[in-house]
Structure 1
């Protein structure tokens, strides 16, 4: 079963890597689509600006002869904004901020689970519909204006502020023919990027209430569940860097009327399917799980129930075989014949009497240790080995750390301590001394006999050819003979010279003696 689980885990990792790669390419595709839309919008804007500059120059150059541009099919739409400026591309999904439940889908609020409780900073997720905001970046006619947020789009990263950035947008004929015939344009608010606005909060001061622009917003705990149908997030927002709480705008709650055909809450919360979690009673019927998850998919986390049951039983059987111990016939007989094992222990004494337990005949005494006999091939006996172990252990633990104040005194007392240890624990007894001496002599002899061989192997002359070796041997012999001849001649001449000097000195001494005797 472990092998199956390992294979399953490897397959899941492969599927996870594949999903990550697909997510990476998906992000790149979203970025390309966003950039493509931005380039198209910039091209249209540049074309409109160039045409307007050209028309303005023609009007200035021609003066009263300038043509009337509000004619033709676009009559009544001169000076209006193209609808393309109302359409913006959606941001890549990984750039969309705010809580996962801060979106509305088909007018219904998405539920927020325990794992999705959001905490973060910035405008995304902390500004909702109904907040008063101030535009801090943008054109001159828009910058500094304050309004209420009417629409919020986190996918596009923009907000629509009431009565701010208003423009006349042309209405194409295909949108509403009846309205297009009567009115060629419509005044609407063009969305503003959410990063270009700041929240306006009415702060209570000792002098009263005054509007304050909050530069940084922070969202976090506590998380409270709002009323059903409300667009209020679950988290609480604060002024960035402080614990000053900023209340949410008053939500627009929906009023629901209970009808006769509505399902009661008790019926909704009633459990209609009960099951027992077990390997023999799976939560899903057979065949349903294969419809939910493909049978041979790599990211499948479970297997067939019957297959898993057989594998678990097989693993338990193999583990039981591994835990079994080999029991000899002697152990089996001892287990059945020992009365203490059968009765559960030593019999209790009655009236304070001492109970004498007699061993059963044929009972094999339990031996917990085995005596170690002296082996003939060992140099030292067990006593010598114990003494050597004690000697080395106590000697290694004699000196303390170098930081100890008595370190120098203890270091000076090491020789005396060694002598006392050798007296207490002899390293070699009289029985082991001959063997130790013989082994030492054998090792010394072997080392001496191996030394010339090692030196011969290390000699570079062994690596040359035979002819070259003979040639060098002849040279060595000739040089040796010349050296001997030269030394012999040198010592011969020296001996002759020294002998003449000694004879002259002897004669001079004799002459002096003769002279002295003559003088006397």
Structure 2
């Protein structure tokens, strides 16, 4: 039985080591891919800025004689940005909470469908509706704002795609730190309702649902005004010929009896090998057999200890002979030789340490 338990524990530890090794490998691969994307974006951005400075200088010096830039390769995509720079870079998990701190951290107070205002960029001060939010990059897309022209490579355009344009205008995502919620508030004195920029939002007590999700309310601190969540339309589901009907799913096809449990014991043998090292539950018959094996091994061990072998007989006779002789006695001659040996060893040790054994003579003052 102890062997079964030990084997199970070793298997669990080995699996834990494999999981940790796989996790470390995946994190390293993610970091390498993210660094490559960041370096590519920075390199492309640097090249564009250097070219812009050169073109601006030439335009200033040459004036009307300045060459055209929208020719050749740049005939269609002049003034556009690379599609790789259309969105930000991924943020590591350990830095994500700090980036999302201004909008609620793990429990965001800004969601899809909110009206927000941009605090920076060429569309600064304009209000739009959030189309989607990317938590991994801490940014969101605002409908109709921060639009940029993006050049799409030819290999990214499929032949069956109806839109074959190489240059497209899209909403570039903006950081969540550069937006603020816009909420209509009514003045109690004047009774007028106007849009107010909410600088800070806090969430109320968080409660968890039975389905495993979390819910909370967002509140404007100081005013204690609860800001409602934007209304979302329920998802529309379409029926298809291969769909399973709900009536068929809810039909009871198994009726448990008092003679057996709802799930027979043989099911676990189908899910996992009966003698697998990763299995933690075993049949009672298998456990009893292992316990019987342990008992048989213990019995054989005791029997081997009780057996009288020729070697044991010799050792037993030697012990009796030593006991019959008794303890030896030291003679005066032996004691004298032991004393000389001790004195000799002591003298050698003192000489090696540089200590004199002579008694010093006192000198009168």
TM-score normalised according to structure 1 size? 0.46
Q: Would the alpha carbon gap of residues 2 and 218 (structure 1) be closer, same or farther in structure 2, given more than 3 Å must change? A: farther
Distance across 1 between alignment mates of 2:250 and 2:113: 35
SS in 2 for 1:286: helix
Alpha-carbon offset, residue 87 of structure 1: 4.7
Q: Would the alpha carbon gap of residues 268 and 188 (structure 1) be closer, same or farther in structure 2, given more than 3 Å must change? A: same
Equivalent in 109, 114, 117 of residue 134 of structure 1: 117
Q: CA RMSD in A?
A: 4.5
Figure out how many residues of one structure are paired with residues of the other and give that number.
290
Gaps of 5+ in 2: 98-102, 297-340, 348-358, 360-365
Q: Would the alpha carbon gap of residues 255 and 18 (structure 1) be closer, same or farther in structure 2, given more than 3 Å must change? A: closer
The answer to whether 1:213 aligns with 2:185 is no
Structure-to-structure mapping, 1:146-185, within 5 angstroms: 146-173=127-154, 175=157, 185=167
Higher RCO structure (Cα 8 Å, ≥6 apart): 2
Alpha-carbon offset, residue 68 of structure 1: 1.3
Q: What is residue 265 of structure 2 aligned with on the other side? A: 282
Per-residue displacement from partner, 1:93-138 (whole Å, max 9, x unpaired)? 67667xxxxxxxxxxxxxxxxxxxxxx94276443211122334x4
Structure-to-structure mapping, 1:214-293, within 5 angstroms: 214-218=199-203, 221-223=206-208, 234-239=214-219, 245-256=226-237, 264-273=245-254, 276-277=260-261, 281-282=264-265, 284=267, 286-290=269-273
**Bigger Cα displacement from structure 2, 252-261 vs 44-53:** 252-261
Structure-to-structure mapping, 1:64-75, within 5 angstroms: 64-75=64-75
Alpha carbons 1:133, 1:148 under 8 Å: kept: yes
SS in 1 for 2:20: helix
Alpha-carbon offset, residue 266 of structure 1: 4.6
Structure-to-structure mapping, 1:465-484, within 5 angstroms: none
Distance across 2 between alignment mates of 1:211 and 1:316: 81
Structure-to-structure mapping, 1:12-411, within 5 angstroms: 12-92=12-92, 121-122=104-105, 125-136=108-119, 138-139=120-121, 141-173=122-154, 175=157, 185-203=167-185, 206=188, 207-209=191-193, 210-218=195-203, 221-223=206-208, 234-239=214-219, 245-256=226-237, 264-273=245-254, 276-277=260-261, 281-282=264-265, 284=267, 286-290=269-273, 295-296=276-277, 299-303=278-282, 306-308=285-287, 310-311=289-290
Per-residue displacement from partner, 1:323-347 (whole Å, max 9, x unpaired)? xxxxxxxxxxxxxxxxxxxxxxxxx
Alpha carbons 1:152, 1:159 under 8 Å: kept: yes
Alpha carbons 2:114, 2:230 under 8 Å: kept: yes
Alpha carbons 1:171, 1:180 under 8 Å: kept: no
Alpha carbons 1:134, 1:200 under 8 Å: kept: yes
Alpha carbons 1:203, 1:212 under 8 Å: kept: no
TM-score normalised according to structure 2 size? 0.62
